[in-house]
Structure 1
């Protein structure tokens, strides 16, 4: 890459890694692989004993990985991400027992948690003036990888060139390539909290802000390990309080976490729903278009997210209304999918579900980002993701996990649709309350202005 600016070279290197890690053509068909002749698990086992493990592991590992990412300065965690992917799909191929599939879910949870390094590495490597450009690059690489993955998987299955197990070999090849490519990423010399560029993780303004975290010895040696940890904790706490003490940020983050919880749950269990629809209608697996739907939903969702850049609305005035309406729309698509008996209807509902969520989560990201410090993006986004996963774990335990209600897939999607419906009603009520508050305030002002 001779003649390429350093920041662009780093961005392109990371984007190729992002493309390779998202090239997982087996994923649209993994449920059918597990319940098919290759593994012979029942739908109940997949629903109650296998998939919930991934949710719990993702949650438990996220906070640890977030802190370790900053301490280890990103690259090692990115390598770990690729290695976890390799172990995941090797075990999926070779494992036969229920325990082996739960081990698969553990490493997939580690793979998902380690993605925080991919999304924050670039901010530690380039100047802030390039943040918008590199964010666009990494997001495009992610979407392109998923789109190509979906197209390849659908073409391979529809043509009969590959079966569901052979798709896993393609995925494994992508994971190995991603892991090897991660080794050429340039190391990061500095990080946001534990290895700050100025060499002193504890700014003077923080010396007295969280005194319980710092004592005299730490303050006299800010570059000591104890001083760095104390300073990092101070910075983390300061950024956390600065963000979530704002009602506007809290409100959008609340929708973000609650909606992401439902979105992830829908993604995790939609293939089980499709399996039920196939069985109810007597259709064969040869008519599955999961890969095509994955590609379509990714491309249309990306276009919707991109289109949000040209939407000019006063989100402080109408944000609650739009969030409420879109939540009701998402809930409706899930409810229709739960009761339909035609695969094309279920596929269409899934595409609409993804498009509506991706459009609104893009706006939520932007509105939160506008109102927080630049250096705290990773922290605040990580907190929101952690809350989403915590809520998803609760929902999984209650709805799908062993010892909970253990609902069948169709009933689960009725619950998820009702969940988004309730979320929509809450935000519409918030909008009504906001209108009433504004009207009351305007009335008081008018009364004060009367002679």
Structure 2
């Protein structure tokens, strides 16, 4: 019996089931869609200005400050301890939301939520360290799908409980606290990985291919610096085996990893194609996260929750469903993305800008809801295309690195937007004016890629015309 359990625990099925359970309960937050009405309602008695200009910006700042160190610590500690830290952060977040009061306490809530958000990298990276490459595609699908399902179910459940059962926002947060506590319990059942992508590796003798070469899918290669670490030392140093063992100390290991990461990043961004897709990724994700962070404030401004019916949960459920549907549709679209990709980025970014302008200029709450649905669906469509275009040209390790760096740049841009536009120490603009700024921001993004796509298409047509003319002359 013990042998059978051991075999199951070492197969790909057991860790996949547990990590999916963790992902489901972590994303099962029916209170998430009603955070702003909860904070501005009788439970917390905060003003909309305090929530917008003093509380919500703390999440962006803490997320930015924690993202890079958490990324390194996650890999060094092999994921599971960071998943436990994520569970603790969520539990503290919702305990404070339930029982603490005042602006300072809610700023502390945003700090711990930023910590929990920064540790999400452990969820998506863990599974690759405990299953073979043969199962990467399947487990990736499971892990990502389960979080979308949980988010949709949570938003719909929250709306039904509020609208039909008259459940208070306080009790929605109790349900969320229970869910994240179950996710924390699931983390204990995960087997501890024996390897990670950068610090704890196996089969490190294979060199990592450059992005311009046809890299095998899903990480069948290894960085060249690790070959140097394990191979013959430089002649001018010629360390003994004992000295080589000393070099494996954490500080030197961190330095080697940082050097290798910088080399990999330089190689990745030397590809012009990857550079343009990454540029859109960073710019658009910064704006998308900013809109998601403050959309509930706009809804509450258009239809105050204390005097109007609130349909935030229903809208979030529909938006998540549309996002997943458009993401799935990408797999069935046959398009030459090298030719039309930048045009698609420009067109759909323009649609994003139009939906944000709609939310600014039209006071009707239903127009705001409709604009948000279009905005999220367009972004999810494009981010799926961008993810595919980047991933298909990179190994798993380099994809994870580029994914993390693109998101870091996006978060840096989002922080600048927050400091200038939202924070009370900056301009501290009202929520309607903020969405005018966000619409202008996406107009700028659309302009960049529409101009770039026109240049690309024109260049290709001129090149084809020259080739045709030369053929006729011959």
For Structure 1 versus Structure 2, the TM-score category normalised by the shorter chain is: over 0.9
CA contact (8 A) 1:337 1:346 kept: yes
Give the alignment partner of residue 417 of structure 1, picking from 420, 432, 439.
Answer: 439
Shift of 1:46: 0.7
Counterpart CA distance in 1 for 2:296 and 2:148 is 20
Instruction: Deviation per CA, 1:158-202: give whole Å up to 9, x if none.
Output: 024411111111111111111111111111110111111237784
CA 1:127–1:404 in 2, change beyond 3 Å: closer, same or farther?
A: same
Shift of 1:233: 2.6
Structure 2 residue 105 is matched with structure 1 residue 100: yes
- Report 1:223-372 matches (<5 A): 224-225=248-249, 228-279=253-304, 285=307, 287-372=309-394
Shift of 1:237: 2.5
Give the alignment partner of residue 203 of structure 1, picking from 217, 226, 229.
Answer: 226
Counterpart CA distance in 1 for 2:310 and 2:454 is 44
Structure 2 residue 171 is matched with structure 1 residue 146: no
- Secondary structure of the residue aligned to 1:170 is helix
Deviates more, 1:153-162 or 1:13-22: 153-162
**Residue 59 of structure 1 corresponds to which residue in structure 2?**
64
Counterpart CA distance in 1 for 2:76 and 2:52 is 36
Shift of 1:403: 2.3
Deviates more, 1:342-351 or 1:322-331: 342-351
Counterpart CA distance in 2 for 1:440 and 1:306 is 35
Q: TM-score, normalised by structure 2?
A: 0.89
Shift of 1:227: 5.1
CA 1:19–1:334 in 2, change beyond 3 Å: closer, same or farther?
A: same
Counterpart CA distance in 2 for 1:30 and 1:390 is 24
CA 1:97–1:11 in 2, change beyond 3 Å: closer, same or farther?
A: same
Shift of 1:245: 0.9
Shift of 1:242: 2.2
Counterpart CA distance in 2 for 1:227 and 1:399 is 41
Counterpart CA distance in 2 for 1:46 and 1:217 is 58
- Secondary structure of the residue aligned to 2:414 is helix
Give the alignment partner of residue 119 of structure 2, picking from 111, 114, 118.
Answer: 114
Instruction: Deviation per CA, 1:192-223: give whole Å up to 9, x if none.
Output: 11111237784336899xx9xx9765996167
Shift of 1:239: 2.2
Give the alignment partner of residue 422 of structure 2, picking from 396, 400, 403.
Answer: 400
Tell me the matched-pair count: 444
CA contact (8 A) 2:30 2:155 kept: yes
Counterpart CA distance in 2 for 1:345 and 1:194 is 50
Instruction: Deviation per CA, 1:363-382: give whole Å up to 9, x if none.
Output: 11000001112222221110
Instruction: Deviation per CA, 1:366-410: give whole Å up to 9, x if none.
Output: 000011122222211100110110000000111111222211111
CA contact (8 A) 1:15 1:138 kept: yes
Counterpart CA distance in 2 for 1:215 and 1:117 is 37
- Secondary structure of the residue aligned to 1:39 is coil
CA contact (8 A) 2:41 2:306 kept: no
**Root-mean-square deviation over aligned CA pairs:** 2.3
CA 1:377–1:398 in 2, change beyond 3 Å: closer, same or farther?
A: same
CA contact (8 A) 2:204 2:227 kept: no
CA contact (8 A) 1:221 1:227 kept: no
- Report 1:431-450 matches (<5 A): 431-442=453-464, 444-445=466-467, 450=473
Shift of 1:337: 1.2
**Residue 195 of structure 2 corresponds to which residue in structure 1?**
190
CA contact (8 A) 2:79 2:122 kept: yes
Give the alignment partner of residue 79 of structure 2, picking from 74, 79, 92.
Answer: 74
- Secondary structure of the residue aligned to 2:12 is helix
CA 1:40–1:371 in 2, change beyond 3 Å: closer, same or farther?
A: same
Shift of 1:339: 2.0
Counterpart CA distance in 2 for 1:380 and 1:285 is 46
Counterpart CA distance in 2 for 1:236 and 1:221 is 21
Q: TM-score, normalised by structure 1?
A: 0.93
